[in-house]
Amino acid sequence: MDFNKMLNIGKMPIIILVAIGVLSLILGSILPLGAVLIGLLSFVIGIIVYLWAGYLATKAKMSLIEAGVTGAIVAFISGLINGLIGLLYGMVTSGPNALAYVLTLGILLSGLIVGVIIGFVLGAIGGFIGQKF
């Protein structure tokens, strides 16, 4: 597996997911009632981007496993960046509450694990689509 190639393929999907995450964080805090719709839209766009990352991997002559790993890498890096941005945003806006930060870190870690699994599966599905079309 060529991880450098996977990172190069995943750059644009990572940038898109981080931009969507920051945008949904900002809009979610400005429009509290619209946060659910913004979160749902971000979720759907995230699924499409994971599929696209796997598709790009197979178009770059990678296997389905490598397409899945590319999706997992995209999910991990974008999830980590978005999680840290959200954590910093929470620290700035909510004040000194140490327990909230500890809970946020726990949620961030568990979310990263689930995100990597989802990214792998969707990347492999996108890779399968890329092989067929």
With beta carbons less than 8 A apart as the criterion, state whether 34 and 27 touch: yes
- What pLDDT, in 10s, does the model give residues 64-94? 999 999 999 999 999 999 988 888 887 777 6
Full domain range(s) for residue 88 = 3-132
Local confidence band at 15 (pLDDT 50, 70, 90 cut-offs): very high
Is 123:64 a contact under the CB 8 Å cutoff? Answer: no
The packing angle between helices 3-30 and 35-59, to 10°, is: 170
pLDDT of res. 1: 82
Q: CA-based angle 102:13:85, to the nearest 5?
A: 25
Amino acid 80: pLDDT: 93
pTM: 0.89
Domain count, the chain: 1
